[in-house]
Structure 1
Amino acid sequence: MVTLNGQTLNLTEVKKVLYDKEQVMASHESLKKVEASRKAVEKIVAEGRIVYGITTGFGKFSDVFIDKKNVEELQLNLIRSHACGVGDPFPEVVSRAMVLLRANALLKGFSGVRPIVVERLLDLINKEIHPVIPQQGSLGASGDLAPLSHLALVLIGEGEVYYRGKRTSAIDALTREGLFPITLSAKEGLALINGTQAMTAMGVVAFLEAEKLAYQAEIIAAMTIEGLRGIIDAFDEDIHLARGYKEQVEVAKRIRMYLADSKLTTKQGEMRVQDAYSIRCIPQVHGATWQTLNYVKEKLEIEMNAATDNPLIFNDGEKVLSGGNFHGQPIAFAMDFLKIAMAELANISERRIERLVNPQLNDLPPFLSPKPGLQSGAMIMQYAAASLVSENKTLAHPASVDSIPSSANQEDHVSMGTIGSRHAYQIISNVRRVLSIEAICAMQAMEIRGTNKLASSTKQFLEIARKQVPSITNDRVFSKDIETLNHWLKEDLFLFHEKTKDEIQL
């Protein structure tokens, strides 16, 4: 059971909720804060005070006073009118993350919702009722208004959900679980949709996959080193300590561990004096990606526990302040940085693929073909990798440098953070396929060199991976092999990344 309090949620707990279907509950102390802020909202309504989003309209309509008899209609109209998301839905796991993060934010006690709103969000998680939320339509400031409105629709019994493996109406799923729709009261609709939970949820899922992939990229690179008889001296600890980046030192250490007992690695001057950069600079490039991942993790864990709606209620309602915590700029920057860092893992991987298949760059059979000329072997796999790398270069264009005014220029600067997070996830999916291609090529080269000469770790990887993708003995439809290995890496069936950075082994 994961206990939410709006303060301490971390990525380890999020991972348990998302992938292990861990149940969630709210802490007693956080619910007391929720109750206190709710009383403040009710007092504001009763007194007829003019407070944005409670007794006024929204956005450019902030100067329109709303009578207390119309506050429920105001919230209902808000959710329905703002549910303007378009395009394919977010993956179901992202929807689950969105509900979790929204509940955690409300439990900070600054939002003025009733406890039942939080409890119903927790019900959605625990009953595995996941809103169907279109991916496109958010500007990433004023919060993720459109995506979160589709989430809020489910609470009022409207919209659609994923439930028991099917897409169905929200009211059907709620009814089958004995839950009733909520009638939103003052401030509650706004509190549900004024936040960064769509970009953050997408960012969390992207990060968790990126972290796993960064580890996988290292063992795959180690296999390529063996396939090319790479020079192990470039990974000597003294080189990396001399520069001083912790992540670079750690990558080099893991590569040395993977290749500790290999009979295929060489010493400088034994076959050649230096390797190409795509081999020699693995710790420097992969290490820089790890630096970025650490930065992104820090920002995500702050945002996961942030109050991002507007207005915020302090001092039992004595202080109600309109601000801009809904602006997604911190996450927008983090997602753009993540895009660039992960795209580089594919860039350097594709160059290693080229070195594996190009007969002018190695002493292996051309394109790793079993019958060069008659059979093309891995020739077009490199084309596919090059295409994915090139696509990543367009996706890596920073979303955060763009802005466009909205709400009659009241909301005149926005983050585009949700676009950034979606593109980050697309890039990560492309990177995994590039690494799948490298793995296929590296395994073929390793077998040509002789499996009896492999390091223990890479040999174990090869034996497990060969159950997924067989050796290339004849040309076949390699698309199936790439997708099979891609799925295997995504599911991470060998789970080696669960080890610590210093102890990681297969």
Structure 2
Amino acid sequence: MALACSQFALASDVTLDGKNVTPAQINAIAEGATVAIDDNAKKQAEKSFDVLLEAAKTGQKIYGFTVGVGWNKDKTFVNAKGELSPELIKSSIDFNKGLIRAHVGAVGEPLPAETVRAILATRLNMLLTGAPGIQPAYLQTYVDMLNKNVIPVVPSKGSIGQADITVLGHVALNMIGEGEVYYDGKKMPAKDAFEAAGIKIVDPYGKDALAILSTNAYSLALASEAVDELKQLVDMQALIYALSLEAIDGNVSPILKHNVEQKGFEHGIKTAEIVRKHLADSYLWDKSDGRSVQDPLSFRDAQWIMSSLDEAVARAESKLATQINHGDDNPTVAVDVVASDNDNADTFEVKKRYVEGKGALFSASNFDPTPWVLDFEYTTIALAHNANASSQRIIKMNDPRFTNLTRFLGGKNTYHAFGAMEKPFVALTREIQMLANPASVATMSVAGTIEDVATNAPLAVSRLNAAADNYAYILGMELIHAAQAIDLRLQKNPELKLGKDTQKLYKAFREKVAFLDKDRPLSNDFEVAAEFVKHYQP
């Protein structure tokens, strides 16, 4: 990880505005792009901090500012009623530093530098929404850490996904000059790295500690990573399926326009259209006396199975984009809002939360990530269905009863061909099926039983990331088998026409992985194929 930190090639700026940032932009920052802050967004954050301070002056009990957190929410630590004197600010600084230190508890291997950069970028964008109420000086701290590659050492385990507090406590610790970071290719004390990089250490007060650590930015960073890879896999699965259909001389009836329209599901109709486009000019549109009336379900149902993943990824990406452009804070600040816009506007419980002419401060549960976590879990389930279908297609391609080709797609000089190679993709599929079991439902009460629900968001999203990595291997193995079958068909009929897109895919893949003309170790081929799947652009 330290080496990776020192080798980032800084790309052009991504401007964060708290409103329109995409998961792809978060990933660009993770991979080395520098960041800038939109001027209007910076003003929004400044107004948010002002609302927080004004609310404190009215004597409001503010979670994590004037009173404690968790079970200690009933204890007053800072009495800020009236003006915020230097003594009160000093007391708040001490409280915030103690709060940060008390939330540093993650364990395990440090997160990759890219993931930590994604965490910093995600949280910085959310700070610009105005919901967290952070001291504006910290905005520059985030910018400097990203642009100067001061990367916190953040262990990977310890969050139950109801704000990643004990993981992100490590980030907050660095920001007060404690703990360790990676800088200039080395692990070193944060204080030394900040000094060397010219980053000012800001004393936290108000609710700065919570604004930095009480967020799901870790889980959201993992989610951004997942979405980019999944979108590529969605594109590739349809293309590889099209080649597999050519590999078995498959029946195109199930993907025909007026056929799929009878079922009515938009994403399935779209997927069938994409497959038809991939197969433009293919021999599959010509008469074939040996073609089956109905193929196995892993081929025949593919457009519906694949479309479930397409739809799931689109929904998960939409939810993710919503969350990274909104706050997930407790307390939550709302800038430029008025009590009169509420139902029950004239009641005490509504009025007391508003600061005249500035906004409002709410005790909140916006850290709860259930609205988007469940979509990511559903995506893992959809992926498991597609992994199984892909594996079944490979098995069918190995079977002469479905292809009228050789057993296990052997060539003239092979003895075993792909005979033993069904085990790897079956093992990967089984692992995906286990990863698809929901993680979000397994929780228990913590913090004096006050915090009695959770989502295990990092675990849920990490499972999807692991499943996606496996699926890239499985699709790569399907591509290897499909290309082998095409070669065997071309040996029989050199005039065989592939689809416009499948021909391009086949030729590009053959530049990376050769025809299996004699038995050879295949592990390297599988690795190359998976990388090809992850990066191929039609």
Q: TM-score, normalising length from structure 2?
A: 0.86
Counterpart residue number, 1:501:
none
Query: Gaps (5+ residues) in structure 2?
Result: 1-12, 79-87, 337-353
Whichever residue aligns with residue 399 of structure 1, its letter is: A
Q: 2:430 aligns with which of 376, 390, 408?
A: 390
Q: Does 1:52 align with 2:69?
A: no
1:403 to partner: Cα distance: 1.9
Q: Does 1:481 align with 2:525?
A: yes
Q: How does 1:84-483 map to 2 (within 5 A)?
A: 84-141=105-162, 143-163=163-183, 169-263=189-283, 271-314=291-334, 318=355, 319-370=360-411, 375-450=415-490, 452-453=495-496, 454-483=498-527
Any conservation in 2 of the 1:34–1:109 contact (CA below 8 Å)? Answer: yes
Matches of 1:170 and 1:268, distance apart in 2: 69
1:96 to partner: Cα distance: 1.8
Counterpart residue number, 1:25:
36
Whichever residue aligns with residue 398 of structure 1, its letter is: P
Whichever residue aligns with residue 435 of structure 2, its letter is: L
Taking only aligned residues, the RMSD between alpha carbons, in angstroms, comes to 2.3
Matches of 1:9 and 1:114, distance apart in 2: 22
Counterpart residue number, 1:81:
102
Matches of 1:367 and 1:166, distance apart in 2: 50
Any conservation in 2 of the 1:159–1:170 contact (CA below 8 Å)? Answer: yes
Provide the secondary structure at the position in 1 that maps to 2:133: coil
User: Which deviates more from structure 2 when the two are superposed, residues 410-419 or residues 48-57?
Assistant: 48-57
Whichever residue aligns with residue 299 of structure 1, its letter is: K
Matches of 1:169 and 1:439, distance apart in 2: 48
Any conservation in 2 of the 1:231–1:267 contact (CA below 8 Å)? Answer: no
1:25 to partner: Cα distance: 1.8
Any conservation in 2 of the 1:218–1:255 contact (CA below 8 Å)? Answer: yes
Provide the secondary structure at the position in 1 that maps to 2:298: helix
Matches of 1:265 and 1:47, distance apart in 2: 75
1:371 to partner: Cα distance: 5.4
Counterpart residue number, 2:15:
3
Any conservation in 1 of the 2:55–2:361 contact (CA below 8 Å)? Answer: no
| Matched positions, count | 491
Change (3 A) 1:249 1:198: same
1:280 to partner: Cα distance: 1.4
1:266 to partner: Cα distance: 5.7
User: Which deviates more from structure 2 when the two are superposed, residues 238-247 or residues 263-272?
Assistant: 263-272
User: Which deviates more from structure 2 when the two are superposed, residues 176-185 or residues 320-329?
Assistant: 176-185
Whichever residue aligns with residue 19 of structure 2, its letter is: Q
CA deviations on 1:398-442 (whole Å, 9 max, x unpaired) are 112222111010111112122111111011111111111111111
Matches of 2:138 and 2:328, distance apart in 1: 17
Change (3 A) 1:465 1:168: farther
Counterpart residue number, 2:82:
none
Matches of 1:247 and 1:166, distance apart in 2: 48
Matches of 2:530 and 2:186, distance apart in 1: 25
Matches of 2:370 and 2:166, distance apart in 1: 17
Matches of 1:54 and 1:71, distance apart in 2: 7
1:168 to partner: Cα distance: 5.0
User: Which deviates more from structure 2 when the two are superposed, residues 403-412 or residues 443-452?
Assistant: 443-452
1:54 to partner: Cα distance: 0.3
1:392 to partner: Cα distance: 1.0
1:109 to partner: Cα distance: 1.5
Any conservation in 1 of the 2:70–2:447 contact (CA below 8 Å)? Answer: yes
Matches of 2:173 and 2:286, distance apart in 1: 62
Change (3 A) 1:407 1:179: same
Matches of 2:423 and 2:185, distance apart in 1: 37
1:382 to partner: Cα distance: 1.5
Provide the secondary structure at the position in 1 that maps to 2:361: strand
Any conservation in 1 of the 2:47–2:335 contact (CA below 8 Å)? Answer: no
Provide the secondary structure at the position in 1 that maps to 2:512: coil
Provide the secondary structure at the position in 2 that maps to 1:3: strand
Query: Gaps (5+ residues) in structure 1?
Result: 496-505
Any conservation in 2 of the 1:6–1:108 contact (CA below 8 Å)? Answer: yes
Identity %: 28
Whichever residue aligns with residue 324 of structure 1, its letter is: S
Any conservation in 1 of the 2:103–2:165 contact (CA below 8 Å)? Answer: yes
Any conservation in 1 of the 2:247–2:403 contact (CA below 8 Å)? Answer: no
1:472 to partner: Cα distance: 1.1
CA deviations on 1:245-296 (whole Å, 9 max, x unpaired) are 2221221112111111222566587522111111111211111211111211
CA deviations on 1:333-380 (whole Å, 9 max, x unpaired) are 0111111112222111001110111334432221122358x6322123
Any conservation in 2 of the 1:200–1:331 contact (CA below 8 Å)? Answer: no
